[in-house]
Amino acid sequence: MSPAVAILSALNSEREGDVEITKYDTSAKVSGDSSRIVGYAGALLK
């Protein structure tokens, strides 16, 4: 289990939470190559 999945699982079991996606982008925006991309996201867990 990845650290991010562990945190989200723990938060989910503790209480109802709210997640706000603050930014989402992919590596294609910088490289221009959309044949192989990596996605990135920033989120606030409230």
Position 31 scores a pLDDT of 93
Position 4 scores a pLDDT of 79
The model's pLDDT over 9-44, given as tens digits with 9 standing for 90+, comes to 777 776 666 778 899 999 999 899 999 999 998 888
Total-model pTM: 0.50
DSSP string, the chain: --HHHHHHHHHHHHS---EEEEEEEETHHHH---SS--EEEEEEE-
CB 22 within 8 A of CB 46: no
Name all contacts of 6-11 with Cβ < 8 Å and 24+ positions apart. 7/45, 8/45, 11/45
